[in-house]
């Protein structure tokens, strides 16, 4: 779901984009005298968590007068992954605490909102192949995936423990009891952790949770269905003979079906899904303590975003501490596409995921009375509609097409009864189709054909009412047929599932695009995975559910695909860092569909996809298992980035837990060791950047470069041979860019590939030439 951003003077509501694309909800939280504030104190300074909490109470007591009052006002103590607390404070108290020693920043709490039978086969992770990543990693056995979302429906077959061994001995997490959730019944060898965090949300909401009228549970149980869907996509067990409305029949499974699931419910079923920064930070704190290996967050923000060191961006702050401890954090890119500069979760230590389609469509035939058959798309498994009347509600007057607009249909019940209705719309949201279908059905119609710009994702109309989407070209052909005959007729057939090579992958229209609005030199998104019409488990309260399963679209759906693949890579390569895993995914990704056809980015008009649409490309899990070289990052690289972004020494020191003094010599963000090179501004002079690669392949190997330079850009590499042996594991190289172009406000794209003839380690290049520097700093 994609939600707009609202703000009040005391409370900024951020969109935790429950990336089920395109239902719009507006939320206003009543401001109160005492609002929750997050007191962030950086890396924890003591190993004893009780000592840390006591120090938080003592600090708060200095402001509120007593330790007892401090205990009443404190919402959370962050004491495992980092240090800080959330407390109910007046504005003046918040200002006083901000002046105390050891406090990095005090900021108001924020509310965020939330953002498969074929998908894994489309990525070549078939269960039949004996040597792919699934088998090499034993389906992710022993890896623990933490899911930050709306909870879980534990009775789903997707969370069966059959065939799983004991819980990993290193696991420190627990299953917490709550409403309709009994740990002895609802946790097992698959669901090994279940926590819920609501204090931050309730403190802002100021009312009982059930006051909204929405179904919800004060426990880890999922009323919304979003969390169940993402968890089962990442790590669901095998469930045979699954379909949705009779379509997409097959076996549902998660990417890492032997991985364990730890649930952290941070989002609540209030006006579509609300999640508090205070709750999210506490979930990070607990997840780090519990011992997860991967964290999956189908959550994000709207533009404009907060900086990487602003705790209102709770995901960037929490993920920094998680990644510093070797935990990969995978986040959704957001659902604000196809507009440029809309990508979210842009911190370089986060793995940010865009959404693509797969080689599967749900095609529906429309046969006209002249015996011509046209094709649309729908999720419709009814009996079909036999040859019957076909109507376009054309009116008299200056604008005869006004009554045929889908969102404002003007229907005459006498004319519509028993007919199929054609309408046109420029809107792309599912609600437009739903409202038009309801109007046609209420007037006695038997079906709806909607002519619209092609978009990603399909939803069934209620009551199995046939509502078929066609593009404007097909819609115009149908309209011309209606106008050409006295008695127009049409027959609507049930949808059919079509899979295979004729269908190429596309970046979904809703998927948020780069360049990165915080720092364009950091490529985002990083990678793309299936996120269109993904079939997975859900809660029975999901209004689109068909039994235990549902089909949804969004970067919420693509994110757990990558989380599952990261779990497989962690199982196979347990010593790899989060940055190494990200590099392996980016440098081996497909830039064409697995079938070999080009990847397009849906929009108006569609275009060939580029790195700002898909990052490195569409994820190629088997190749990522053996990338040859990786572009690794450690804390020094993170500090380099933070200094290059001009964050002050005090903030960086608190964040990292070590005294940090950025060098007087200005650092360039271009030299952060990422598996990409993006140069937002180059003039007539050249720019040289440095990268370092680590050999994770054969001990003795030699790599040579292949350069696809951006048009009009000269690219050279030194040295032009990288040699590795038993003593040389890492090699640095420099890439120089120069141009004679005076000005080009558009980015130009290319690539740099190192190869030993076995591995092809490719990184994207993007360059923009400008006569002036719009950012105020030279790169």
Give CA–CA dist 634/655, Å, rounded. 14
Tokens 């990070």 sit on residue: 284
Q: Which residues pair with 299 in a beta bridge?
A: 114
Nearest to 603 by CA among 333, 356, 339: 339
The alpha carbon dihedral of 341, 342, 347, 350 has a sign of: negative
Q: Which residues pair with 37 in a beta bridge?
A: 87, 108
Q: Which residues pair with 247 in a beta bridge?
A: 244
In 3-state terms, what secondary structure has residue 121?
helix
**The one catalytic residue among 21, 112, 226, 229:** 226
Do 269 and 215 contact (CB within 8 A), yes or no? Answer: yes
Q: Give yes or no: 46 in active site.
A: no
Tokens 């490719």 sit on residue: 762
Q: How far apart, in Å, are the Cα atoms of 40 and each of 9, 93, 210?
A: 21, 15, 31
Q: Give yes or no: 226 in active site.
A: yes
Q: What are phi and psi of 427, to 5 degrees?
A: -80, 150
Q: Where are the beta strands (DSSP E) in 281-407?
A: 294-297, 299-300, 328-332, 351-356, 360-368, 373-377, 385-391
Tokens 């935990």 sit on residue: 327
**The one catalytic residue among 556, 563, 681, 751:** 556
Q: How is residue 246 annotated by DSSP?
A: T
Question: 260-265 and 191-196: which strand pairing?
Answer: parallel
Do 396 and 377 contact (CB within 8 A), yes or no? Answer: no
CA angle at 178 for the pair 172 and 184, rounded to the nearest 5°: 60
Nearest to 44 by CA among 90, 132, 114, 104: 104
The alpha carbon dihedral of 227, 232, 233, 235 has a sign of: positive
Q: How far apart, in Å, are the Cα atoms of 166 and each of 190, 293, 554?
A: 10, 17, 34
Do 525 and 681 contact (CB within 8 A), yes or no? Answer: no
Q: What are phi and psi of 222, to 5 degrees?
A: -95, 115
Give CA–CA dist 298/264, Å, rounded. 12
**The one catalytic residue among 2, 22, 121, 149:** 149
Q: How far apart, in Å, are the Cα atoms of 728 and each of 110, 574, 692, 763?
A: 48, 22, 12, 22
Give CA–CA dist 603/615, Å, rounded. 17
In 3-state terms, what secondary structure has residue 4?
coil
**Strand 35-40's sheet: what is its strand order?**
74-78, 84-89, 35-40, 105-108
Catalytic residues: 149, 226, 556
């Amino acid at each position: 779901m994609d939600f707009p951003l609202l703000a009040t003077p005391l409370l900024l509501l951020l969109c935790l984009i429950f990336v089920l694309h395109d239902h719009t909800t507006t939320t206003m939280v009543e401001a109160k005298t005492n609002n929750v504030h997050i007191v962030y104190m950086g890396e924890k300074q003591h190993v004893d968590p009780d000592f840390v909490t006591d120090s938080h109470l003592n600090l708060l007591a200095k402001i509120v007068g007593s330790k007892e009052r401090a205990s009443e006002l404190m919402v959370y103590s962050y004491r495992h992954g980092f240090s800080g607390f959330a407390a109910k404070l007046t504005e003046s108290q918040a200002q006083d605490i901000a002046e105390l020693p050891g406090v990095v920043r005090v900021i108001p709490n924020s509310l965020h909102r939330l953002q498969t039978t074929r998908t894994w086969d489309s990525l070549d992770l078939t269960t039949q192949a004996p040597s792919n990543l699934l088998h090499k990693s034993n389906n992710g056995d022993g890896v623990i995936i933490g899911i930050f979302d709306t909870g879980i429906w534990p009775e789903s077959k997707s969370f069966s423990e059959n065939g799983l061994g004991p819980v990993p001995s290193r696991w420190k997490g627990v299953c917490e009891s709550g409403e309709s959730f009994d740990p002895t019944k609802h946790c097992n060898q698959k669901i090994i952790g279940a926590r819920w965090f609501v204090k931050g949300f309730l403190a802002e909401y100021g009312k009982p949770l059930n006051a909204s009228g929405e179904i919800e549970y004060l426990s880890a149980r999922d009323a919304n269905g979003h969390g169940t869907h993402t968890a089962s996509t990442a790590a669901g067990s095998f469930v045979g003979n699954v379909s949705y409305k009779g379509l997409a029949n097959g076996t549902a499974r998660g990417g890492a079906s032997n991985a364990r699931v730890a649930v952290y419910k941070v989002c609540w079923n209030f006006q579509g899904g609300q999640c508090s920064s205070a709750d999210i930070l506490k979930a990070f704190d607990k997840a780090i303590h519990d011992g997860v290996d991967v964290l999956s967050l189908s959550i994000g923000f709207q533009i404009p975003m907060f900086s990487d060191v602003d705790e209102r961006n709770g995901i960037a702050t929490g993920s920094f501490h998680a990644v510093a401890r070797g935990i990969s954090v995978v986040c959704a890119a957001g659902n604000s596409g196809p507009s440029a500069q809309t990508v979210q979760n842009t911190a370089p230590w986060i793995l940010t995921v865009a959404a693509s389609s797969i080689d599967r469509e749900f095609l529906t035939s429309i046969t006209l009375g002249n015996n011509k058959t046209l094709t649309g798309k729908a999720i419709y498994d009814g009996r079909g509609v036999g040859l019957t009347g076909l109507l376009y509600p054309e009116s008299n007057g200056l604008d005869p097409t006004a009554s045929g607009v889908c969102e404002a249909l003007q229907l005459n019940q006498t004319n519509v009864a028993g007919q199929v209705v054609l309408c046109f719309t420029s809107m792309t949201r599912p609600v437009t189709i739903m409202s038009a279908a309801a109007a046609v059905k209420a007037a006695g119609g038997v079906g709806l054909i909607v002519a619209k710009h092609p978009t990603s994702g399909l939803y069934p109309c209620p009551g199995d009412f046939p509502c078929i989407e066609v593009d404007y070209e097909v819609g115009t052909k149908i309209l011309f047929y209606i106008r050409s005959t006295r008695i127009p007729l049409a027959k609507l057939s049930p949808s059919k599932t079509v899979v295979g090579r004729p269908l190429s992958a596309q970046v979904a229209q809703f998927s948020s695009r780069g360049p990165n609005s915080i720092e364009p030199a950091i490529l985002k998104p990083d990678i793309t995975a299936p996120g269109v019409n993904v079939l997975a488990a859900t809660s029975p309260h999901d209004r689109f559910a068909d039994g235990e399963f549902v089909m949804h679209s969004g970067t919420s759906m693509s994110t757990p695909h990558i989380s599952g693949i990261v779990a497989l890579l962690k199982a196979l390569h347990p010593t790899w860092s989060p940055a190494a895993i990200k590099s392996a995914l980016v440098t081996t990704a497909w830039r064409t569909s697995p079938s070999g056809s080009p990847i397009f980015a849906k929009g108006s008009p569609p275009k060939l996809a580029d790195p700002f649409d898909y990052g490195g490309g569409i994820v190629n899990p088997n190749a990522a298992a053996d990338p040859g070289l990786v572009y690794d990052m450690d804390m020094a690289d993170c500090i380099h980035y933070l200094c290059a972004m001009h964050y002050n020494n005090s903030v960086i020191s608190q964040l990292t837990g070590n005294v940090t003094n950025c060098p007087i010599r200005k650092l360039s963000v271009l030299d952060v060791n990422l598996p990409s090179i993006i140069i937002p501004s180059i003039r007539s002079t050249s720019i040289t950047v440095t990268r370092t690669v680590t050999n994770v392949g054969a001990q003795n190997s030699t790599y040579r470069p292949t350069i696809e330079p951006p048009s009009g850009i000269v690219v050279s590499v030194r040295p032009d041979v990288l040699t590795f042996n038993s003593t040389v594991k890492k090699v640095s190289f420099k890439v120089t860019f120069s141009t004679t172009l005076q000005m080009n406000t558009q980015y130009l794209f290319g690539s740099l590939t190192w190869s030993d003839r076995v591995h092809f380690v490719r990184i994207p290049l993007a360059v923009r030439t400008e006569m002036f520097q719009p950012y105020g700093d030279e790169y």
